[in-house]
Each structure stands twice: as structure tokens, then as C-alpha cells.
Amino acid sequence: MHLGLGSFHRSHQAWYTECDPEWGIAAHTFRNTALPRALTEQQGAYTLLLPGEEAKAEVVGSISRAHAGAEQERWLADLASPDVAVVTTTVTEAGYAAPVPGQDSAMQRLVTGLRERYRAGGAPLTLVPCDNLPGNGGVLRDVLRTAARDEHRFAEWLDEHVTVVSTVVDRITPAPTSADRATALAATGLRDEVPVVTEPFAEWVLAGEFPAGRPRWEQRGARFVDDVDVHQKRKLWFLNGAHTLLAHAGLARGRRTIREAVDDDVLLATVQQWWDVAAQHIAIEPGELAEYRRRLLERFAAPGIEHRLAQIACDGSQKIPARLLPVLRAERAAGRVPEPAVTVLAAWQSHLRHDDVRDPRAAELVELARSRGPTRRLLLALDQELGADDELVAAVEDALPTRPTGPSR
């Protein structure tokens, strides 16, 4: 099963699962009804497009069923079924908030489904969170334990029968456009209402056990390791950190996509500086890290991938703490104020003041950003210790980009 059906799932977990015909996916989304309806009409098949001078296309058919969020009974029945051995999730960083009874959220839906499985006999199950969250497996396990703290037997069953795997996932997958349907038709001769555009590169690193079995994802390059920590840091700080930097600083400089942003010499230099800073805090061989950085720049500049900065800038309050603050904290502990991190924080504040903001904390943060003297309070909202750092606050205020006053239209 999968929770959080969207483009990234179809470019990543579903694509990996395609290699093993013995497995299929029952995919569930939230409020979207058009996507599951289109996939159902196409019998779960869709086109995976790799753009370039000559677009390459692959038809992926690993999704057996696609369901809208309103199909709660189907979700509960699927999760209770002993035929289900693995549940993957792509619900964004914000989706791992602890469930609140009476509110429909990713974690509430997952806990409700697990409770149904427990009542139905409780066959072993593995959960595989696939979002850019440090220690995502541990975070999900903590959420489950908190949700079940008043249900002793259910909590025991979760600990004994539900395994949670930690992961690192990577494949740049921009939001689809209307032109992608025409490209898919030209490439395959088949009409596809919901194609996915992505890059050739894909990475999946997993640490954990699968007591009820799993697809043979290693046939497409997935790696199974004892600990994902260094892989997570590398990906979060270097790829995702650079994306967040380019998104916020790029919007402030009038750029629209990642490709446009890395074509800006000022932004490119800032990314390189950020990578130099982050490299001081990760245990990877310098040669390996240099090659990873080189390849990232190739991916950022790849033709045909229109990864929009406004999309990446969403949920900044959830992304910045994971992608940038660990390095910033380490730098402040060493008595340094890293300029690239200051640039991101200043550009994020500017984004909150001037752009249309999509963030689970938007109402709170936009009000702060448009009030008088907001910098310290915004930093406090991200991290209490950093918000009390006078030197950092002053540096962010000095770095605020000059933009027109008032929200953008």
C-alpha cells in the first residue's frame, strides 16, 4: 500500500516496484479525486518521461488500484488485509505531526488503519516513510507510540508486529504541466492523462527489516544498509539544502526554476559556499563528496526539468529545520556565522512578507514577517536557541533582500 499518491511516488517507489511483477500497489491519496480516477480509467498504468533532446518514456504498471481520500472504508479494509506486507508513505515533512482525534491527517489515517489491522488479527507489517525528514523511521515510530500510549495492548502489538524502516529517497520530480500529456502521447502513442516527468537519476537507501517480505527493489538499484544517517545528511544538506537556498534566494532575485537559479552566478556561488560549510560536518571522503556535488550541479542544470522555485519554497517552516539548521547550529557552536545560511533565512523572511505562502504555519509566520522587528521572532519560531542569538539576528537583518513592499500579485 501507499499513502500520499502523487508524482514523486510514481517516479520513485512505484517505479522501483515495477521491477517485481509479483507485487502491486494499492495507492491512496487525500483530497485529490482526479488523479485516482484517471489512473483507474488507465488500469493503473501511466507514462514515466525522461526529458531531453529525445524524450524517453516508460509505461509503469505497478499501481494495481488507486483510491481517493474519501474512500475510508477501502483504506481500512486494505490495511487490515494480511495480503498487505508493506506500506510506503510520501506525505511531506509536515505530514508527520502527531495525530489529533477527530482531524483527518496522514498520521491519524495511518494509526486508524493500524488499529483496524490489529483488530483483524494483526499480521506483521513494515512501514516505509519516504519523506525528507532526519531519522524518518524513528520519527514515525515515536508518532505511533504517542498515539497508542493509552492503549496498552495495541501499543504492544505495534512494537512487536510493526517494523518501521528508515530511508533516504532522491529523484527530482517537478510538478506536471499540461504539455506533458502531449509529450507522453508523442513518445508512446498512448493517451495518458497523468504522466510523470522526472530525471534519470534515482536513489533509495533503506535500513530495517521486512518480516512479511518486500519487492525486489534492489533490482533497480535500491540499497539496504545498517544505518542511513550519513546518507540522510548528505542528501538533506547538499541536495535539499541547496534546493531550499535556491528557492528562497532565487525568488528574491526574480528567478523561476532551479535551472534558472543555478544559471545565476551569484546564486551558484552561494550554493557552492553552502556546500563548503556543510562539508565540514559530514563524515564522507572528500573525493566522494566532490563527485556528488558535481553530479548535483548537472542535475540542477538538466534541460527539460522545470523544477519551479515556488513549489520548492512551500512548507519552509518544515524544510529549513531539517535541511539547514543542523549545520547552522554546528557553525554557531564553533563561533562562526555562515553567510549562505544567513542568506536563506533572510530570503525566507522576504518570501513570507512578499509572496503567496503555502506552509502549515502560514497564518502565524506571515503575520510575524509583516510585523515590526520580525527577525528574532521568526528565528524563535524555528529554533529557540538560534532566535536568542543576537549576532545571528543582526546578520539576518543585514542580509534582507530589497523587494517591493506588499504581497506579490
Same domain membership, residue 247 and residue 278: yes
Comparing C-alpha atoms, which of 234, 231, 233, 212 is closest to residue 222?
Answer: 231
Same domain membership, residue 148 and residue 10: yes
CATH number of the domain where residue 219 is located: 3.40.50.720
State the Cα–Cα distance between residues 232 and 243, nearest whole angstrom: 15
Domain assignment present for 61: yes
Same domain membership, residue 269 and residue 128: no
Comparing C-alpha atoms, which of 289, 215, 219, 300 is closest to residue 257?
Answer: 300
Neighbours of 19 (CB within 10 A): 16
Instruction: Name the domain boundary from 194, 224, 254.
Output: 224
Going through 146-300 in order, the beta strands assigned E by DSSP cover: 162-164, 166-170, 196-197, 203-207, 223-224
Q: Quick check: 404 pLDDT over 70?
A: no
**How high is the pLDDT of residue 103?**
79
Instruction: Name the domain boundary from 224, 248, 277.
Output: 224
Does residue 220 contact residue 15 with C-beta atoms inside 8 Å? yes
Phi, psi torsion values for 256, nearest 5 degrees:
-115, -35
Domain assignment present for 270: yes
Same domain membership, residue 243 and residue 145: no
Domain assignment present for 259: yes
Between 184 and 232, name the one with better pLDDT.
Answer: 232
DSSP 8-state secondary structure symbol assigned to residue 219? G
Domain assignment present for 364: yes
10 Å CB burial of residue 386 (0-12, 13-18, 19+) is buried
Same domain membership, residue 212 and residue 239: no
Neighbours of 220 (CB within 10 A): 15
Same domain membership, residue 245 and residue 195: no
pLDDT band at 409 (very low <50, low <70, confident <90, very high): very low
Same domain membership, residue 246 and residue 112: no
User: pLDDT (tens digit, 9 = 90+) per residue, 59-111?
Assistant: 999 999 999 999 999 999 999 999 999 999 999 998 998 888 777 899 999 99
User: pLDDT (tens digit, 9 = 90+) per residue, 123-138?
Assistant: 999 999 999 999 999 9
Same domain membership, residue 158 and residue 40: yes
Domain assignment present for 303: yes
Write out the H or E segment, with its range, that includes residue 345.
helix 339-354
> Which one-letter amino acid corresponds to residue 317?
S
User: pLDDT (tens digit, 9 = 90+) per residue, 7-45?
Assistant: 999 999 999 999 999 999 999 998 889 999 999 999 999
Residue 212: C-alpha distances to residues 27, 122, 127 (Å)? 19, 12, 11
Look up the domain containing 170 and give its range: 2-224
Residue 179: C-alpha distances to residues 205, 307, 387 (Å)? 32, 14, 44
Domain assignment present for 404: no
CA torsion sign for 353, 399, 308, 18 is negative
**How high is the pLDDT of residue 406?**
40
Same domain membership, residue 45 and residue 147: yes
Instruction: Name the domain boundary from 224, 239, 268.
Output: 224
Does residue 18 contact residue 61 with C-beta atoms inside 8 Å? yes
Domain assignment present for 408: no
Domain assignment present for 280: yes
CATH number of the domain where residue 384 is located: 1.10.1040.10
Same domain membership, residue 216 and residue 233: no
| Total domains in the fold of the chain | 2
Same domain membership, residue 275 and residue 164: no
**How high is the pLDDT of residue 53?**
66
10 Å CB burial of residue 146 (0-12, 13-18, 19+) is middle
Comparing C-alpha atoms, which of 93, 118, 122, 112 is closest to residue 28?
Answer: 112
β-sheet with 25-28: strand ranges across: 63-67, 25-28, 2-3, 86-89, 125-129, 162-164
- Average pLDDT over all residues of the chain: 94
Displacement of CA 226 from its chain's centroid (Å): 22
Same domain membership, residue 252 and residue 348: yes
User: pLDDT (tens digit, 9 = 90+) per residue, 364-377?
Assistant: 999 999 998 899 99
pLDDT band at 54 (very low <50, low <70, confident <90, very high): confident
State the Cα–Cα distance between residues 302 and 406, nearest whole angstrom: 34
